[in-house]
Amino acid sequence: MNTLSRPGGTGRLAIVAGWGHLPVYLADAARASGEDPVIIALADEANHAFDDFETMTTGVGDLAGIERYIRQKGVDRVVMSGAVKRRPDWRDIRPTLHTLARVPAVIRTLLSGGDDAVLQMVIKLFEGMGCRVIGAHEIAPGLLARTGALTPAAPSAEDLRDIEQGIKAALALGQLDVGQGAVSVGGRVVALEGVEGTDAMLDRVAKLREEGRISPRRKGVLVKLCKPQQDVRADLPAIGLSTVTNAARAGLAGIAVEAGRALVLDEQAVTKAAGDAGLFVCGIDTKLPRGGL
C-alpha cells in the first residue's frame, strides 16, 4: 500500500467534500491506493455525487452528527477538500457534549474570523473527535504543482515582472487572511482575491479590460500562493480548467502557482487547455531571487 496515502492511520479515511472537483480526485486517489474512504458531503456545498462511496450528507455545523458517523465508520483520519461558500449560521451548530464549551469561540470565529482562523477551528474540532487531519497532498501528491513551466509556453521577461508583483501582493493579502490570489498587469496589481474566489476575481479583471481600465497592450499574470501563516492541511490554493478559461477571458498571459504548495487539478487537461488558449502555467518558488522561477 502507498504509505503516502495512509500516513499514521489504521482506521478509515473520511473526505469532507465541499464544492468543486478536488473531493472527487481525492476519493478516487484514496481508493486507488487501497483505502476504503467515506465521504462527508456538505449539504448545499458539495456539487458532485459519490454514488460508489459510503456517504453522509450533512450541514456544516452538525458536529454531533458528523462525530457519530465518524465513530460508526471507524474513521481515524480526515481530509478537508473543496470550497465552502457559505458559513453556517450560529443557529445551525449542533454540538456534542464535549464541544459545548467551545461553542462561544466557534460562533465568534464564524462571525469575525478570516478563512484561516475558521479552518484552524475546524481542525481542532476534528482533532477533538479523535481524528488526525491530513492534507490533500498526502492523499494525492501528484496534484502538487512542480517548479517551472508546465506548458510549452513559458513566462516572458515582462511576465516575470508581473509574477514578482503578484507574489508581493498575494503574500500581503494572505498575511491579512483575506485571499490567496492576485493579478498583475504591466507591473501593476489590478485585482486581489477576496471571499468571492478566484473565478469571480478573474471575471472582474475581464470586465475592467472591457471597460478600458486595463491596457489592452499588456496581458498580465494570475498568481496564487499559500498564505504565509497557512496550515497546509487545509485549503491549499488550487487551479483547474475553470481557472484557465477565466484567465483567458480576462486576457492574461498565464498563471503562476506556488510549487509544492498549490494543487493543479487534472494537470493534463489544464495544460492542454492553456496551450490551446495561448497561456502558460508555471510553478514558482517564492524564495528565488529576482528574474527566476
Instruction: Dump strand ranges (E) for 25-121.
Output: 38-42, 54-58, 75-81
Q: Give the residue extent of every domain in the chain.
A: 3-139, 144-284
Mean pLDDT of the chain: 88
Give 84-111 pLDDT, tens digit per residue. 877 666 566 666 656 655 656 655 655 5
Instruction: List the Cα angle 72/11/65 in 5-degree steps.
Output: 30
Residues 6+ apart with CB under 8 A from 254: 151, 153, 155, 159, 221, 222, 247, 274, 279, 280, 281, 282
Q: How confident is the model at residue 36 (pLDDT cuts 50, 70, 90)?
A: very high
* pLDDT digit string, tens, across residues 121-142: 788 888 888 999 999 999 999 9
Q: Determine contact, residues 183/191, Cβ cutoff 8 Å.
A: yes
Correct CATH for 144-284 of 3.40.50.1780, 3.30.200.20, 3.40.140.80, 3.40.720.10: 3.40.140.80
Residue 213 grid cell: 481600465
Question: If you search the block for the grid coordinates 510549487, which residue do you land on?
Answer: 259
Please give the residue that has the higher pLDDT: either 83 or 245. 245
> How many CB atoms neighbour CB 76 within 10 A?
17
CB 34 within 8 A of CB 66: no
Whole-structure pTM value: 0.86
Please say whether the structural domain 3-139 has been given the CATH code 3.40.50.20: yes
Q: How confident is the model at residue 73 (pLDDT cuts 50, 70, 90)?
A: very high
Q: Can you tell me which residue has the cell 487534472?
A: 266
Confidence category of residue 230, pLDDT binned at 50, 70, 90? confident
